[in-house]
Structure 1
Amino acid sequence: MIPREGAILALLRFLEENSYHGKIGSLPIDSIMKLARLVIDSNCFVYNNRYYKQIRGGAMGSAFTQVLANIYMYYWEQDLIKYAVEHKGIYGRDIDDIFMATNQTTVEIQQELKKMMKKDINIKINYEINTSVNFLDITITNENGQLKTSIYHKPTTEPYILPFTSDHPRQIHRNIPYAALMRAARLCSNVADFNSEQIRIDMSLLLNNYPSKFIKRQFNRFFTSNDAMSV
C-alpha cells in the first residue's frame, strides 16, 4: 500500500518536472494538487449500515489511484532500472508486476532486491529467480542466453469463451478465433509453441459449440490475411 503523503509528494515532483510555466495543459499545478487531495481524502463507503472514511491508501478501482500509484512506483523503481542498465539487463513493469533479466548471479540479484526492500517499507517484494518465469500472460525462458516466450495459462483457467449460441453479431464470433491466433503469433517465439496454442484454441472453440467447419474457415482466414501457412 502506497503512503498518501509519499504519493502526493511524488505527484508534485512529477508535475513540476513535466509542467510548462507551472501548468499541465491549462491547469495550474496548485489546482491539480488540490483536486488530488480532494479525491484522496474523500473516499467514503458504507458497511453494515455504518459510514466509513478511508484514511490509508487509495480506493481500489479508482482511475486516479492507479495513476497515482504508477507515479509513486516510477520514482521508486529508478534504482532498479539503473541497475538493469548498468549490467546490460532488461527491466519492465506493468502496474505492480516487474520482470528483470540480468547476467548477475542469484546472490547479487538478491542483494539488490534486499536494498530495494529497505528503500521503502511500503513496497513489499515477492520475487522468483529462475531461468523460466511467468510474467502476466507470458512464460519467459532463458535458453542458453536466448529469451524464449510462450503463452502462460493459469492452472485455474477455464476454457470458456463467448458461446457460439450466444445472441451476438456473427462478426464477434468470427473475430474470436482470429484474435486468439494473433495473440499466439505475437507471444510465441517458436512454431512448436504456436502450434500447441492453436490446438488449445481449437479445443476451446469446440467446447463452446463452435462448428468445426466454422473454426477451420476462420483459421484459414487468419493465415491467408497474414500471408502465412498453417502450422
Structure 2
Amino acid sequence: MIPRQGALEVLLQFLERNLRNNKIGTLRIDDIMRMARLVLDTNIFAYENKYYRQIRGGAMGSAFTQTLANIYMLDWEQQLMHDQQADQEIDGRYIDDVFMTTNLTHDQIKIRLDNAHREDPNIRISYSIQSTIDFLDVTVNNEHSHLKTSIFHKSAAEPSVLPYTSDHPRHVFRNIPYAALLRAARICSNVEDFDMERIRIDLSLLLNEYPPSFISKHFHRFFEINQTMAVFERLDSQVYYQLHQQLLHKPTRREQQLQQATGDIDVLPEVLQRKKPWDSNVMYVKYNFESGPRLAFQRDFRTWWKKHFAYKGSNVEHVQLKFAVKTNYTLEDMFIRKKPPSAMLKRKPTNVLQQAT
C-alpha cells in the first residue's frame, strides 16, 4: 500500500543515483518512469463479471510492484542503515522483514525503532528484541557475543516433500536430498545442528516413501561432491566448519550472472536474459514423462535414432541428443482457472468500470 507519487519520486531518485549515462540498455530514465506510471495507473482486473481499477498501492504478486516496494523500502531504511554502520553492527532486510544486531540498551534501541516507525505514515513496523530471533527460515542465537545459526521450522509445517510414488522424472527425486542437505549445511553453523537436521531430512524422506538405499546413495553423493566423503559417518567440528564456510560463500548460478554484470550496469538486462546460441550439433527431444510405458523412452529413442538416422556415415551422425522432460499436468492445472473467460477479456469496459481500494 505504498503511495504512488511518493514511490515514483523515490524510483526517480534511485535511477538518477545508480544508472550510468541515465540508461538501462537503450531505455532512458524518462522511458522507465513513463512505463512505471502506465503500469500503476492502468491496473484493471475483472471479478464477478465486473471491471475494477486499483487506485491505491500496486498489485500483489506483480514483479514491478515488488521491485518498486523494495526500492521504496530501501529509501525508508537509510537512517537505520547509517546508524547500524556507525555502530559496526549487522543490518539486513528481505522485502519487509528486517534483521539487526545491536549492543545498545533495550531503551536505546526502542527509541531508534520508534523513530523509524514515525518516519513514514505508510509504513508500520512491529519489532521483537531478544537474544534469539527467528528470521525467515533461520534461527539466530546470540551466545556470549557469537551468533549461532540453525534452521527454523514452523510448528505448523509438516515433514512433506514430493512423494516418491509421484509421476515425476527421476532427476527431480535425485535433487531433493541433495538440495535439503545443501540448505542445512549453509544455514547450520555447528555440526550438532547439522546432524539433527540430517536426521530430520532422512525421516521426512522415509515418511514420503523414499527407499532407504536411495536416500543413502544421494546423501553420499552430497558429501562426495563437496569432498568430505571420508568423514561422512561422523563429521568433526573442524571439517564441518570448512564445509559450512565453503558452501555458505559459494555463489549460486544467479549470483554468478550478477557478478559478471557488475562491471557494467548497462548490460545487466542483456546478461540476465541472454539465451544460448543455437547449436546445430545438438537436438533437444521433448516429451511428457510417465512412469509406465514411457519410462524407457530415452533408451528406446536413442536406439531408434542410431539405427535409422545417426548410423555411421550419415549426415546427422555427429548430432547429440538431449532430452527435455516435461511433467504431466496436475489436478491444480486442470481445475483452477487463473484468467477470466476470453469473451470477457475482449469486451471493452464502458459503464461497468468500478474503483476499488
Query: Structure 2 length as normaliser, TM-score?
Result: 0.63
Instruction: Look up the SS of the partner of 1:2 in the other structure.
Output: coil
Give the CA deviation at 1:167. Answer: 1.8
Work out which of the two has the higher radius of gyration on C-alpha atoms and give 1 or 2. Answer: 2
SS in 2 for 1:148: strand
Would you say the 8 A contact 1:133–1:140 is kept in 2? yes
The alignment of Structure 1 onto Structure 2 pairs a total of residues equal to: 231
Q: Aligned partner of 2:72: which letter?
A: Y
| 1:59 Cα deviation from its structure 2 partner | 0.4
Moved more, 177-186 or 14-23: 14-23
Q: What fraction of aligned residue pairs are identical, expressed as a percent?
A: 58
1:31 to partner: Cα distance: 1.4
Q: Mind listing any 5+ residue stretches in structure 1 that lack a counterpart?
A: none
Provide the residue aligned with 1:191 in structure 2: 191
Matches within 5 A, 1:119-198: 119-198=119-198
2: distance between equivalents of 1:224 and 1:27? 47
Deviation per CA, 1:24-50, whole angstroms, max 9, x where unpaired?
A: 321121111111000001111222322
Gaps of 5+ in 2: 235-357
- For 1:57, the equivalent position in structure 2 comes to 57
Offset of 1:81 from its aligned partner? 0.5
Q: Which moved more, 1:156-165 or 1:12-21?
A: 12-21
Distance 1:146 1:166 in 2: 43
2: CA distance between counterparts of 1:177 and 1:28? 46
Equivalent-residue separation in structure 1 for 2:225 and 2:47 (angstroms) = 54
Q: Conserved in 2, the CA contact under 8 Å of 1:149 and 1:187?
A: yes
Q: Which moved more, 1:47-56 or 1:186-195?
A: 47-56
Partners of 1:18 and 1:24 within 8 A in 2: no
Aligned pair 1:42/2:79, yes or no? no
Q: Which amino acid aligns with 1:43?
A: N
1:77 aligns with 2:77: yes
Q: Which residue identity lines up with residue 40 of structure 1 in the other structure?
A: L
Larger mean Cα displacement after TM superposition, 40-49 or 67-76: 40-49
Change (3 A) 1:215 1:14: same
Residue pair 1:43, 1:53 contacting (<8 A) in 2 also: yes
Matches of 1:105 and 1:227, distance apart in 2: 45
Aligned partner of 2:254 in structure 1 is: none
Determine the C-alpha separation between the residues in 1 that align with 2:204 and 2:19.
49
Per the alignment, residue 94 of structure 1 pairs with 94
Q: CA deviation at 1:208?
A: 0.6
| Structure 2 partner of 1:2 | 2
Most deviating of 180-189 and 12-21: 12-21
Deviation at 1:13, TM superposition (A): 0.5
| Amino acid aligned to 2:35 | L
User: In structure 1, what residue type is equivalent to 2:208?
Assistant: N
> Are the aligned partners of 1:160 and 1:204 in contact in 2 as well (CA < 8 Å)?
yes
TM-score normalised per structure 1: 0.96
Determine the C-alpha separation between the residues in 1 that align with 2:106 and 2:46: 47
1:117 aligns with 2:117: yes
CA distance in 2, matches of 1:141, 1:103: 14
Partner SS for 2:66: helix
| Structure 2 SS opposite 1:123 | coil
Distance change >3 Å, CA 115–CA 164, structure 1 → 2: same
Higher relative contact order (CA 8 A, sep 6+): 2
